[in-house]
Amino acid sequence: MHARVLSPAKVNLFLKVLGKRPDGYHEILSLMQPVSLYDEIEVSVSEGGGIDVATDSPEAPGGSENLAYRAAALFLERAGSAKRVSISIKKRIPVGAGLGGGSSNAASVIMALDGLLGTGFSGQELMDMGSRLGSDVPFFFLRGPALARGRGEVLEPALLPELYYVLVNPGFHVPTAWVYSSLRLTKKAQNNILLYSCEVFADRERLKDALTNDLETVTVARYPEISALKESLVEAGASGALMSGSGPTVFGVFHSREDAMLAYGTLEPRVALPARIFFAEGLTG
């Protein structure tokens, strides 16, 4: 049995860190959208036992160190199955980039195995499995935009207009744990009820004001070039620009494919390795 799936990246259109939880995680509020920047994953199931994971990127570990391995192991345990699983991942989403590539891979492997083995787990059961693997994993089962609360596992589907993105990854990794541990949380009372609507994200000026990421201050302090990337995206015509997740990838938001492609064409010649640039479409489910 064999399946080939596309595993999408995500962007955070806003990300507020509300406080530290007793379990050690951070309480967040974030609006996330999957985008059409994909890893390609092949999953094969055969008789026998064991799990193999291989990637085509030296930056992405194979074997048991890959989150996809843990996802397959957890799924087989929950399904009570002793099959052999082989996973091959072609990486296009940069590693350690704030785009959720590893979390997306884990969710994609679980969904592929559910289909191949015909186990028929409910959507909530799949998301519960994902929450054991990482805070962002449950989001990728929805395949559309969502407001995330808690540590990221409490999800409410959201409606967004057509949005297009130009993403620039500067070519270095930023460890998520380091960013959160370096974040200075203030005890100052603030209104964390963020209003979001299709109207806000359809209007250029209001969208620019709505884009916010509490983690940016930490990452930019060490890597000031992130601010320069945001400025270049706005200068190229983006309605607004923001760092995604814990970074370092920065994205510009566009309301038309034509404007996004024009900006991509303008910026692409200026981006030199190890930096990478991508055009992506917002996915709505």
Does residue 167 share a domain with residue 54?
no
Inter-CA distances, 70 with 10, 30, 74, 132, Å:
21, 26, 6, 10
* Mean per-residue pLDDT, 104-132: 96
- pLDDT exceeds cutoff 90 at 121: yes
Residues 222 and 126 placed together within one structural domain of the fold: no
pTM: 0.93
Q: Is residue 9 over pLDDT 80?
A: yes
CATH code: domain of residue 95: 3.30.230.10
25 and 43 within one domain: yes
Of 156, 174, 204, which residue sits at a domain end?
156
CATH of the domain at 271: 3.30.70.890
Across 205-222, average pLDDT:
89
Considering 156, 185, 203, which residue would you say is the last residue of a domain? 156
pLDDT, average across residues 118-130: 95
The whole-number pLDDT of residue 197 equals 67
CB within 8 Å of 42: residues ≥ 6 apart? 2, 3, 4, 87, 88
Q: Which of 115, 130, 156 is the last residue of a domain?
A: 156
Averaged pLDDT, 173-198: 68
When pLDDT is averaged across residues 23-51 and rounded to a whole number, the result is: 93
Active site residues: 10, 136
Same domain, 169 and 274: yes
Please report the pLDDT score of residue 193 as a whole number: 46
Number of separate domains in the chain: 2
Indicate the average pLDDT of the chain: 91
Indicate whether 150 and 164 sit together in one domain.
no
* 140 and 270 both lie in a single domain: no
- Between CA 89 and CA 91 the distance in angstroms is 6
Kindly state whether residues 105 and 171 are assigned to the same domain: no
Write down the pLDDT at residue 185: 67
At 194, the pLDDT band (50, 70, 90 cuts) reads low
Mean pLDDT of 144-167: 91
Residue span of the structural domain in which 267 resides = 158-281
- Please check whether residues 167 and 270 belong to one and the same domain: yes
What is the reported pLDDT for 189?
Answer: 42
> Are 34 and 150 within one domain?
yes
Residue 84: phi and psi, rounded to 5, are: -95, 135
Do 139 and 167 reside in the same domain of the chain?
no
Q: Do 134 and 163 sit in the same domain of this protein?
A: no
- Do 268 and 245 fall into the same domain? yes
